Structure 1
């Protein structure tokens, strides 16, 4: 019998506690989704002896409010269609799966709870066993491309093709044309234009992950392999679309934050140049993150800052004071506080160098504060 009572979240009784969800298995792909929530200390998760491994979902809400009912703790919870689609494709047939998903693990109706949970999200994604980047159910040919990218992306890295210094010669072009068809290039472009690559929160969800995979339908591909494959395909197609530029910028940030070859396989030439001259400067990273924030979208403008706090905490001095998460605070005040924090932390006027004014100067924003 389907639950009829609306889910009533049990409040957190201790600080730094989060909820994890258990996704129950089903051999049927159409059976109603059933999950269970349980609370766990974020600090206990850091203990290697603790048996609390979980995966975190990175996805786009799509709709602002949930409309699809699922069973949660034998009560009813409404989630967005995209979240429901992701859960159906993540559900195993016979084994349970432990996940962290923001729309379910945080009471979205409680501003007080959001104010307490949002500052922990950077740690949540960093500590996850794997971050699953959900790009949607896609088309059969999209899944085929992911399978090809799992092999091709690694091969292009080995051949040195997925670097920024490549000067493709005739022989290389001929070789590439045999393994990447025009149809696959078009599919790669479609993947590049997925809305996931435009959202502010997905930046830190990717960059803070210790391990991450893209998933379309039931098919997975390591992030580094897909980045290699797509960039090589677009490079040889002479594409300079805005979607590709945003795609490449995220990849450069990934490579700079995780320069080890095992963590990423693109932009290695650029990293090596920096390593030869000097250690990567945190100011350079900040500039990259600030630019990414300006190019990304958020339903709530406050998230242009809050969605980057996890990343900023990973590179700013410990004594740096980031804006306290408070969704009741005016947007202009949050932008101003973030700008002051970066100026103080970097001892530079970096934020002033990349001021973005796409829609003119807002009346309530000082002229020296970037309009993200």
Structure 2
């Protein structure tokens, strides 16, 4: 049996010499750090010092220069990690290990162990929505609120002690380790039930670390309050660490940013400690676009091992298939197999519109979801549009498969310019005067946050969708822009974006349109 190691490769030019089968091998410096900490952990856990340690690592066990072998082995990556004796996740990078900060960074693991011991019911955060029936999930959420409050009270008191505050500062550094931002780690971490985290030559079982950090980062309330309390009591956090330890290379000490802590939270919550469940591929891809992949095709391939359905997709690293062709093919397979036209909303972005190198209905999984995107999706959750008549999605592809043929009802076109308003101290961009289908409204409006449309852009209700979509006419075809809010339209009984069933008759009003 072997221990499978999960680590962040880092800069490929930063290497150290490792002896493999008697021959020198230029390994990633981070890999050698991970191997050393893994072996140290196994011996520290009571293993016989004379017993051989077997480990599996991708850089050595896969010929990275052979695209065919790489693709074949990548296809078995989930099974490789799942079949291991256990999985060792090394958060420490070689660069961080060389810094003076590492000498006392073992306090991070000790702090997490202490919190896990002292705060009850943190295990509640190891469950996911997939682990509970809908009837009980609301009560689970209420229990999480209770535990979150207990954790906040505990940490608010604990950080008054300078030693604990220094330890919790190390926890902040640990959360910023680059492992959490890599695409492949999601599959490596979630594939096995026996996972141990390694940091600064210390180790902790994954379920303890996950329970504490998921509770701490949940909804951002506790982390914000505690880190503000640390600054309030101890002053500047960098000054607090002076004469003790520094932040380490490229490791900031500011309160949690959206991107770094969101990566930590999303990675840890992807693993179910209740049952070993696979996830919808589209959900895994949503997570992957927030991660970093050296080969952009790995935004797709790193998700396959955890997916409920892979639709026959197999890793392929040949140069004859571009990233854009791969993304287009994946989205085409998802639409054809799920018949869910709502998936094209994944191609929406809050600021920069659609990608110039992809069809407008294809998400650019290389581009991370922004905070504005996340807020937009959250605000629109469960605001559905109801229709009468046949509402089955019509999904076909023309030509080389880059033109999506679908059907829907044109609600109307935007005829107003962007007007900037101030509401509760915030600038809000709105598009005014969306004509209703009956042209009876004197001042209706569509609400589109952040990304400004143009006059003439069209609001469509597509067959099979529960959202309204904003499209732009381009000759005989359309460009998909994003989902859109519509509210306060007179005589249409629209409230919070929802049409009544009598408003849109897809059977009589639907038209065919082509989106490229």
Partner of 1:205 in structure 2? 188
Partner of 1:166 in structure 2? 145
Aligned counterparts of 1:127 and 1:351: Cα–Cα separation in 2: 34
Partner of 1:253 in structure 2? 270
Secondary structure of the residue aligned to 1:254 is: coil
Are the counterparts in 2 of residues 65 and 79 from structure 1 also a CA contact under 8 Å? no
Q: 1:144 to 1:94 in 2, by over 3 A?
A: farther
Q: 1:309 to 1:236 in 2, by over 3 A?
A: same
Task: Report whether the alignment pairs 1:215 with 2:207.
Answer: no
Aligned counterparts of 1:115 and 1:75: Cα–Cα separation in 2: 26
- Deviation per residue, 1:169-213 (Å, 9 max, x gap): 987644333445433332222211111111101111111123211
Q: How does 1:328-347 map to 2 (within 5 A)?
A: 328=319, 329-347=321-339
Are the counterparts in 1 of residues 71 and 316 from structure 2 also a CA contact under 8 Å? yes
Aligned counterparts of 1:132 and 1:290: Cα–Cα separation in 2: 24
Partner of 1:105 in structure 2? 61
Secondary structure of the residue aligned to 1:228 is: helix
Partner of 2:16 in structure 1? 68
Structure richer in strand, relative to its length: 2
Aligned counterparts of 1:119 and 1:352: Cα–Cα separation in 2: 27
- Aligned residue pair count: 294
- Deviation per residue, 1:205-260 (Å, 9 max, x gap): 111123211101321111221122234445534266312222222233223xx434
Report the TM-score, using the length of structure 1 for normalisation: 0.70
Q: 1:96 to 1:366 in 2, by over 3 A?
A: same
Are the counterparts in 1 of residues 108 and 174 from structure 2 also a CA contact under 8 Å? no
Task: Report whether the alignment pairs 1:145 with 2:93.
Answer: no
Aligned counterparts of 2:151 and 2:23: Cα–Cα separation in 1: 58
Aligned counterparts of 1:281 and 1:68: Cα–Cα separation in 2: 37
Secondary structure of the residue aligned to 1:354 is: helix
Are the counterparts in 2 of residues 253 and 288 from structure 1 also a CA contact under 8 Å? no
Partner of 2:84 in structure 1? 128
Secondary structure of the residue aligned to 2:270 is: helix
Partner of 1:236 in structure 2? 222
Are the counterparts in 2 of residues 127 and 210 from structure 1 also a CA contact under 8 Å? no
Task: Report whether the alignment pairs 1:83 with 2:31.
Answer: yes
Secondary structure of the residue aligned to 2:4 is: strand
Aligned counterparts of 2:21 and 2:190: Cα–Cα separation in 1: 32
User: Which protein is bigger by CA-based radius of gyration?
Assistant: 2
Are the counterparts in 1 of residues 9 and 30 from structure 2 also a CA contact under 8 Å? yes
Aligned counterparts of 1:222 and 1:55: Cα–Cα separation in 2: 14
Aligned counterparts of 1:350 and 1:307: Cα–Cα separation in 2: 24
Q: 1:286 to 1:59 in 2, by over 3 A?
A: same
Are the counterparts in 2 of residues 156 and 229 from structure 1 also a CA contact under 8 Å? no
Are the counterparts in 2 of residues 156 and 228 from structure 1 also a CA contact under 8 Å? no
Q: 1:161 to 1:154 in 2, by over 3 A?
A: farther
Are the counterparts in 2 of residues 56 and 101 from structure 1 also a CA contact under 8 Å? yes
Are the counterparts in 2 of residues 293 and 304 from structure 1 also a CA contact under 8 Å? yes
Partner of 1:293 in structure 2? 288
Structure richer in helix, relative to its length: 1
Partner of 1:322 in structure 2? 313
Are the counterparts in 2 of residues 323 and 338 from structure 1 also a CA contact under 8 Å? no
Q: 1:158 to 1:368 in 2, by over 3 A?
A: same
- Aligned-pair Cα RMSD in Å: 2.9
Task: Report whether the alignment pairs 1:365 with 2:321.
Answer: no
Partner of 2:388 in structure 1? none
Are the counterparts in 1 of residues 148 and 216 from structure 2 also a CA contact under 8 Å? no
Q: CA deviation at 1:59?
A: 0.5
Secondary structure of the residue aligned to 2:316 is: coil
Are the counterparts in 1 of residues 151 and 216 from structure 2 also a CA contact under 8 Å? no
Q: CA deviation at 1:57?
A: 0.6
Are the counterparts in 1 of residues 15 and 28 from structure 2 also a CA contact under 8 Å? yes
Secondary structure of the residue aligned to 1:97 is: coil
Report the TM-score, using the length of structure 2 for normalisation: 0.51
Aligned counterparts of 2:122 and 2:11: Cα–Cα separation in 1: 42
Task: Report whether the alignment pairs 1:307 with 2:302.
Answer: yes
